[in-house]
Structure 1
């Protein structure tokens, strides 16, 4: 913690208690533990010891023994929490950083900072919080309703094995255990949710939202529906059926340069296949508000699923790092032809579209996640020739480079643009503002989750 000068101290004192500031008149070990846990479970904060709730400085004698006692209180939290202390006159400031191993608890329970107070979490709130932090994984949870003899679909397992290099020379239970989709408890085979989603005869018996819905529209608007299908036959069949549906409803043209004709799809199969598999692996199965939705329009495909980015993945790291929300499902699928390398799906979509000469995909994430891919005539997201014709007279060399990079990837961040163009992030933001003023680019959506668009 950087040393706090008296000017900053006075400002915080005047500001009073809030989301990141707590005043305590004296050291109360239980009360302090509660505040430390609450800040660690939130975005961090500072506890000022020696100040009353109304902001009056009381102060007290600060000794090494006192500082050691505070460290002991933090270490006794579960998991232990690291804190830093700083003394300003007779006030001791305890800084708590946001924890990386949430949720944290103390002897009184679990707490979360909410405004100027620390709220105790109920059992259901603890469960929800643990799910949000990725501590409880849907696919790992045992499914007590699943009966091995009645609900297991052996044909689905055989189909899966046929898609992999695995053989059936050991008992079925051992194969399933190797795939981590069952646990043998007191001689009884217990399926987890991953196993039920993959190998149940009737998934809808156990899950309200395990379907894949495919809709084909006449135009680029959600008005005239030409066809609609709902697939609910387990993860692998759903993936296969969805891919087949898209292939059936997109355009194909033929190029004849030799004796053989070449079939060219409106959208590269690798791109929409990866988008579909990505939605299955990364959807939030705890969220029962909807199913995976694949929408085919005249000039674009949108694949969406419940659940935005996982809590531990920052928007600026999207596409750089990958950690599956449903790791067991990801591992099982990684052995099939549908997943060549876990974690590479987003980049493979980009590469497939780029190789086909199509615009970069658009990724949108909030409470849900959506991937939009365009064909060559989609217009939206494709830079018209008119723009490149009029750019030379209107922009600087750096601004031209910025436009060129946005043409390649509409999800480009200021930080990445700075690296590619070779100027500071502040100058990038200045140039982006100027390009917007000139009517050459526009920002669609929020700073996080939105995208750039080249204007005519």
Structure 2
């Protein structure tokens, strides 16, 4: 959150979507009552280190790690907050003091804390546990607003893909060692993930639409949602029709893999250093785009989700429940969950981060993948994401202070007539590790087959080496000293 946005919240004062807590050295005992109330109502901002009048008192710096640990641990504890919900505290410096900011989105489920249900109005948090009519209205509003919670009483475990349960457990274990899913039966896993509910209208219980979409067999999904599909299209050589297409009508877990493979098939990659590790820039960027396309979608509408690759852009679009209109500003927007249960499930598998981070990550990675360009997120009935590709075929400017030395070493070792095309290939590798043979060929002006032969020759001469596997690795110039 920016300091300007924070100042606006402070000036606005406490209300339906804003709550202040002092929490100078520990988390207020009633803090999770506000968390619960925000989840049940319309979401909101919880600021720790601020008094009731909006005065900044600050949180003692040495106490911040314990307070944040307390928030994260309790948010994932069924006994404290049920069902659990992922929260991401943010520490903000203002007026030489530190406050902790929590953005809490509206949830698609009814939550309780310490066994009590809280709702929110302009005057604060209210315990409605013993008010049966208010509780019933709350459940009804959630059920009718979030279609992912639609209950299908006749769905059985046999309607889900057995192999998928094994896959998601592996993904979750890789993300967090000792993940609770590892010790659960398939039914226990579904229930713990909020995929089994009671319909307040009919009184019947069953697995939900979210369960079918995440783990259902293809025929199961078509039975509960006949219009469901995701269309992946390439329109470059033939813009009026398509060059390639994948009509995807399977579960969301496999849909993610197929869309990532489709992107990998048709777009070049760029590897770059992130911290101490090299990573695929293309995968980091389109992980966010594809996750957003699959997760934040109104599935009950027949409009198909689309991922379209064109000559100068990639754009994704899906039907949405808008909470605004026009371009989204990453520095000043309030994320709103379209399908919180599905999003939480993807988060457990490590395929999406906390709510709102995807927009910021897409801006960060896009500016590197397509130098000088920025993505667009357009809110409306149809939510659109646009990734420009205008500079994708161009390498970044060569580091002139480094390349001449490399060229001299190669010529000294292998002679002046080393080969013009080989030298151009080395220059491309020097500029940008991780390009495919076809992408290198476009840079040099030769076929990808000719590039592959040259790469094999350069490897045999010890000029370049392969780092990582054949798929997912990259070429690097060897130490020629």
Query: What is the TM-score when the length of structure 1 is the normalising length?
Result: 0.47
Give TM-score, length-normalised by structure 2. 0.45
